[in-house]
Amino acid sequence: MVTLDSRPEVQAAPQSPDDVPGWFWPLDQQLFGWLLERQTAAGMRGDLLEMGSYLGRSAILIGRHRQPGEAFTICDLFDSDAPDGDNAAEMTMSYRETLTRAAFERNYLAFHAELPTIVQAPTSALAGGVLPAGSCRFAHIDASHLYEHVAGDIQTARAALADGGIVVLDDFRSPHTPGVAAATWEAVFAHGLRPICVTPEKLYGSWADPEPLQRELRLLDGDVDGCNLDVDVIAGQPVLRFSGPGVARLMPPSSCTAPTPPAARSTARSTARRLALDLLPPVAARAVRRGLRSVREHAA
């Protein structure tokens, strides 16, 4: 990954998704691609959701799998205020120097003709049924690492996910994010989340039976030089574990990256800006709901 100065005024558009700073590594890129493609191939339709997008590294890949009629909603504070002091400290320490919404938009539009629906607000603005129940097939949770926030994000994802939908939790076992670990395992043991597999950074789960997915993953050539696929049993339930410095061969590398789209970028930009929602605290959740509904109507 190339680390670039992300100030919009000095940074050129990235040539490859790997030029976008972030924390989204090849093994997870492969798993995202494999899972999203599998859903599409199986005829599953539903919206896509990301909480915590930073400069767009993971959103760019997720957006590549959006199908006609599907919405892709991303929620991030970007350069607006955090809702509490601990979250503000987290933002200052990790993101403030590099993160702007303009930089996210520039990076995303280097690979896609349209922006996703952008909710620039704390993820709590999506709570309480703001996203239609059961509307999503895939949710990536990668915003605040504080327990209270992540626990809320998991409930938001749970309500928004369709039957068989997949949730991915970032940093569920990183040394500096015990709050994510607490919220993740609470979801497993108290709220019925079923782990499918884990990588060094992420836990992939569902509220549906994980066995069919696990069976397919085990049949793939994921256990290769430098990447091990093991099976752990947690409270009687198998969980696949990818480990090692290498990368599983789940998909050809070209399937994991997003090519630069042809032309159409400048016209798309104005459409995209219309679609993007400007939501800053203390805008009420009702306003978010209204905004998302109108974007959905535009997209239909």
Q: Which residues bind ligand SAM (CB under 6 A)?
A: 22-24, 52-54, 57-58, 75-77, 82, 87, 91, 95, 99, 122-123, 142-144, 149
Name which of 18 and 37 has its Cβ closer to ligand SAM: 18
Name which of 55 and 213 has its Cβ closer to ligand SAM: 55
Name which of 140 and 214 has its Cβ closer to ligand SAM: 140
Nearest distance, CB of residue 242 and ligand SAM, angstroms: 17
Name which of 11 and 87 has its Cβ closer to ligand SAM: 87
Name which of 99 and 193 has its Cβ closer to ligand SAM: 99
Give me the residue whose beta carbon is nearest to ligand SAM: 22
Nearest distance, CB of residue 106 and ligand SAM, angstroms: 15
Nearest distance, CB of residue 237 and ligand SAM, angstroms: 27
Spatial distance between the Cα atoms of 157 and 136, rounded to a whole number of angstroms = 8
Nearest distance, CB of residue 159 and ligand SAM, angstroms: 17
The DSSP secondary structure of the chain, one letter per residue, reads: -------TTTPPPPSSGGGS-SS--HHHHHHHHHHHHHHHHTT---EEEEE--TTSHHHHHHHHTPPTT--EEEEE-TTSPPSSHHHHHHHHHHTTTT--HHHHHHHHHTT-SS--EEEES-GGGGTTTTSPTT-EEEEEE-S--SHHHHHHHHHHHHHHEEEEEEEEEETTT-TT-HHHHHHHHHHHHHS--EEEEE-SSEEEEESS--HHHHHHHHHSS--BTTBEEEEEEETTEEEEEEESSS---SS-GGGGS-PPPPS-HHHHHHHHHHHSB---TT--HHHHHHHHHHHHHHH-
Name which of 99 and 213 has its Cβ closer to ligand SAM: 99
Name which of 83 and 222 has its Cβ closer to ligand SAM: 83
Is residue 19 within 8 Å of 2, Cβ to Cβ? Answer: yes
Nearest distance, CB of residue 53 and ligand SAM, angstroms: 5
Nearest distance, CB of residue 118 and ligand SAM, angstroms: 11
Nearest distance, CB of residue 77 and ligand SAM, angstroms: 4
